[in-house]
Amino acid sequence: MGETRLPRHMFLWSMAIIYMFAFASLYVQIPGLYGNEGVLPVRLVEPRVDGSRPVLEQIHAHPSLLWLGPRLGLDLDAQQAMELLCLAGALLALGAALLEPLRDSLVFFCLWALYLSLCQVGQDFLRFQWDSLLLEAGFLTVLVAPLNLLRWRSAFRQHDAVTFWLVRWLLFRLTFGSGVAKLASHCPSWWGLTAVNHMFEAQGIPLPWSWFIQQLPDWYLKLGTVGLLVTEIAVPPLYFAPIRSLRLAAFYIQVCVWLHQQLLNMTWPQTIMSLVLLAVFAVIIYGTKVLFTLEIDWEAKTITYKTAFTQQQFGNWLKLVTGPTIWVGVLSLTWEVVAAMLGCVCVRGCLWKLWGLVQWAVIASAAVAVFAISQVYSSKILPEVRQAYSLVERYRLVSAYSLDSRMTGVDGRSEVVLEGSMDKNTWTEIEFMYKPGNVGMAPPVVAPHQPRLDWQMSQAAQGLAEQSPWFTSLVHCLLQGNKDVVRLIQTDSAQYPFSQAPPVYLRASLYKYWFTQTWWRRGYSEEFYPAVQLGGLTLEGMLSQHGLKEKFPIQPSPDSPLAQALRQVRDHVQTLPGHLVLWSLLATVATIWLLKTLLSGVLGGRKAKPTPAEPKAKKAKDQPAAKNASASSLKAERENSEESRRDADKSPKKRK
């Protein structure tokens, strides 16, 4: 149990931080994305309240808290309801990040329910893989976190290893599935070991250091491709190794920081474990050299690589290991479940045994259920498991990751460039805050903010405009001059060329971008979206084709006290770019943590110093030594205390 205590605390704290950033990042984008006049108005898809149906039935059909607003007496429109959920989630996650008692199972369940509610109505802008990953990891957090708020904090948590095993299983599925999918996609870049040469240039929103990495030697980038495939395919099975050192080393290698325990002053068992550890990774290194034919050219100071196995051989190997991999998971989970049960039985006291077994039964059942439905994407899944998954599919408890891992951007990254005009003759490019545009500007630092419109623009560039219906809505909003949508592109009106009056015409072109010695260069590729105007037949036809025409008129915003408070918060935030809002939030958390650490250090130092006026603290400190003292020393202490009392009685103050 002690082995899981620190990882569990770190996992819960990290999830609280991630939730905080996720809710805050989405909050600043809600008006432009989901407002009444946004790109994809949430009022068109929000679930409707049906008073004739039971509440639980409606929750199962539409697992979202948005439709509960009217039942709770909240006079808010759909946009304000989303903002309320985001603010509640951000504040709750902030509290969990700063206060350990709030890292509770009930708190994390609320965070998961709030984010699920938003994803249910988020449409294209809340269907990214990181949203699915956050929901799945968030549900596991509910099982991992303790029940502190209900005062059910037990002296032991024998089931911790079982719940934390699910986190290991998720990490295994994420990494191993991603690595296998890269080679299973038959992508020439992965098989030719050149994927990393293009990866940083083609990522959704490049970062400043992406340019520096792209300038590294070709042999070094190919080494990065080999290392990525090895760490995603060969290392993840070690997450379930029976030796803890192997599991730790596999984890540290996965995050590119191998921090093993000290090698000095080891006992013989530790030495043997270290030798086993070295042997396992020696096999991995040797296998890497053989499978990718690594050869070092000392004269040219380069390393050459070549895949030494065929796609058919890889496919045969994949079929061979798929079944055993699942059985390894079954055996590993069984081991943790049985060990946890034995730990509960060995506890002293019948009531504690019974309470521990009850906890174990609940957690073990949940772990087995989550493990079973996570196999739904396997071709050999049982029909009963697939049926069980269909019952909880809408809750997004498990997902498949990196099913399509073909490397894009081999011949340059595709980028959609919007242009506006007042007369259809002179066209002005519309610059976005985050995605590549101006070839002379360095990529910005965006994290931890997730600009969803900019990211979707990079995804839209991989296909046709017809495959991204939201793009037509974006064009329509910009022609109307919707300020909330414009703020998604530029919060500084001076940077938006049509801040005084919206453009009469809009069009979009597809360009190819490449990293050069001066950030970017680009070349025109083709037309992405034709020139359109408000009321034009082309635009109206596309709006009708994609079902973006208004189905019912916009209702006036409510004027309740809660709605007014939400508008005031929005007025203070909307003038700042999203990344500045999140950096401010990060600075606030860091400052509070610093003050908390300093105050705890000062107060702790004062309490640690025993003074003459605190005999109880000194007595408690010396109690173990007093228990082991001899009878003569105890007698001497009693005599000394009696003499002290007699001296005190003879003092002048006492006589008075």
pLDDT at 630 over 70: no
Least confident of 56-65, 118-127, 373-382, 493-502: 373-382
Same domain, yes or no: 367 and 441? no
User: What is the phi-psi region of residue 481: left when phi exceeds 0, alpha when psi lies from -120 to 50, beta otherwise?
Assistant: left
pLDDT at 616: 45
In a domain, 334, yes or no: yes
Cβ-contact 69, 81 below 8 angstroms:
yes
Identify which of 43, 68, 38, 87 has the alpha carbon closest to the alpha carbon of residue 563. 87
How far from each other are the two terminal CA atoms of the chain, in whole angstroms? Answer: 62
pLDDT at 116: 95
Total Cβ atoms within 10 A of residue 609? 8
pLDDT at 404: 58
In three-state secondary structure terms, 528 is: strand
pLDDT at 276: 66
Convert the pLDDT of each residue in 107-133 to its tens digit: 999 999 999 999 999 999 998 888 999
Tokens found for residue 30:
């809600």
Q: Which residues contact 187 (CB under 8 A, 6 or more apart)?
A: 195, 405, 406, 407
Helix (H), strand (E) at residue 532: strand 519-532
Mean pLDDT of 146-155: 64
Burial of 407 (0-12, 13-18, 19+ CB in 10 A): buried
pLDDT at 650 over 50: no
pLDDT at 275: 63
Total Cβ atoms within 10 A of residue 410? 17
pLDDT at 358: 86
pLDDT at 16: 95
Mean pLDDT of 218-235: 89
Structural domain harbouring 514: 414-534
Which of 469, 502, 534 is the last residue before a domain boundary? 534
Cβ-contact 21, 89 below 8 angstroms:
no
What does each C-alpha distance from 100 to 287, 389, 436, 593 come to in angstroms? 44, 34, 41, 12
Same domain, yes or no: 488 and 376? no
pLDDT at 325: 87
In a domain, 495, yes or no: yes
Same domain, yes or no: 422 and 356? no
Q: How many residues does the chain have?
A: 656
DSSP 587: H
Residue found by looking up tokens 């498949």 in the block: 400
In a domain, 391, yes or no: yes
Mean pLDDT of 481-491: 94
Task: Measure the CA–CA gap between 33 and 41, rounded to whole angstroms.
Answer: 7
Mean pLDDT of 581-605: 85
pLDDT at 277: 64
Residue 605: which pLDDT band, with cuts at 50, 70 and 90?
low
- Sign, CA torsion 304/309/310/314: negative
Same domain, yes or no: 474 and 508? yes
Identify which of 488, 503, 352, 484 has the alpha carbon closest to the alpha carbon of residue 426. 503
Task: Measure the CA–CA gap between 516 and 210, rounded to whole angstroms.
Answer: 12
Task: Measure the CA–CA gap between 400 and 199, rounded to whole angstroms.
Answer: 21
Which of 499, 534, 569 is the last residue before a domain boundary? 534
Percentage, residues of the chain above pLDDT 90: 36
pLDDT at 496: 94
DSSP 444: P
Residue 396: which pLDDT band, with cuts at 50, 70 and 90?
confident
In a domain, 493, yes or no: yes
Convert the pLDDT of each residue in 562-581 to its tens digit: 999 999 999 989 888 999 99
Identify which of 109, 145, 131 has the alpha carbon closest to the alpha carbon of residue 11. 145
Mean pLDDT of 127-153: 85
Convert the pLDDT of each residue in 152-161 to its tens digit: 555 456 678 8
pLDDT at 24 over 70: yes
Name which residue leads in pLDDT, 445 or 406.
445
The domain tally of the chain equals: 2
Same domain, yes or no: 422 and 370? no
User: What is the phi-psi region of residue 53: left when phi exceeds 0, alpha when psi lies from -120 to 50, beta otherwise?
Assistant: beta
pLDDT at 272: 55
Task: Measure the CA–CA gap between 56 and 71, rounded to whole angstroms.
Answer: 13
Which of 509, 534, 559 is the last residue before a domain boundary? 534
Task: Measure the CA–CA gap between 474 and 124, rounded to whole angstroms.
Answer: 13
pLDDT at 649 over 60: no
Cβ-contact 442, 396 below 8 angstroms:
no
DSSP 494: G
Residue 621: which pLDDT band, with cuts at 50, 70 and 90?
very low
Cβ-contact 308, 274 below 8 angstroms:
no
Cβ-contact 579, 446 below 8 angstroms:
yes
Same domain, yes or no: 430 and 512? yes
Residue 608: which pLDDT band, with cuts at 50, 70 and 90?
low
Query: What is the rounded average pLDDT for all residues in the chain?
Result: 82
Same domain, yes or no: 435 and 529? yes
Task: Measure the CA–CA gap between 118 and 450, rounded to whole angstroms.
Answer: 15
Same domain, yes or no: 520 and 437? yes
- Sign, CA torsion 8/14/17/21: negative
Same domain, yes or no: 421 and 509? yes
Q: Which pTM was predicted?
A: 0.85
CA 95 to the chain's CA centroid: 18
Residue 96: which pLDDT band, with cuts at 50, 70 and 90?
very high
Interior angle at CA 220, CA 214 and CA 221, nearest 5: 45
pLDDT at 499: 92
Cβ-contact 38, 31 below 8 angstroms:
yes
Residue found by looking up tokens 């046709």 in the block: 464
In a domain, 186, yes or no: no
Helix (H), strand (E) at residue 23: helix 2-27
In a domain, 348, yes or no: yes
Total Cβ atoms within 10 A of residue 81? 25
Percentage, residues of the chain above pLDDT 70: 83
pLDDT at 645 over 60: no
Query: Which parts of 416-549 fold into alpha helices (H)?
Result: 452-460, 469-480, 483-489, 537-545
Mean pLDDT of 84-106: 94
Mean pLDDT of 610-618: 47
Same domain, yes or no: 442 and 389? no
Residue 263: which pLDDT band, with cuts at 50, 70 and 90?
very low
In a domain, 462, yes or no: yes
Strand partners for 508 = 418, 529
pLDDT at 157: 66
Cβ-contact 29, 450 below 8 angstroms:
no
Max distance between CA atoms of the chain, in angstroms, equals 110
DSSP 495: G
Convert the pLDDT of each residue in 278-312 to its tens digit: 777 788 888 888 888 888 877 777 888 788 889 89
In a domain, 454, yes or no: yes
Tokens found for residue 225:
């491709």
Same domain, yes or no: 424 and 391? no
Task: Measure the CA–CA gap between 150 and 162, rounded to whole angstroms.
Answer: 22
pLDDT at 465 over 80: yes
Same domain, yes or no: 379 and 457? no
Least confident of 159-163, 173-177, 513-517: 159-163
Helix (H), strand (E) at residue 341: helix 311-345
What does each C-alpha distance from 562 to 77, 567, 570 come to in angstroms? 11, 9, 12
Tokens found for residue 653:
């103050």
Half-sphere exposure of 426 (CA within 13 A, CB side): 3
Mean pLDDT of 342-354: 83
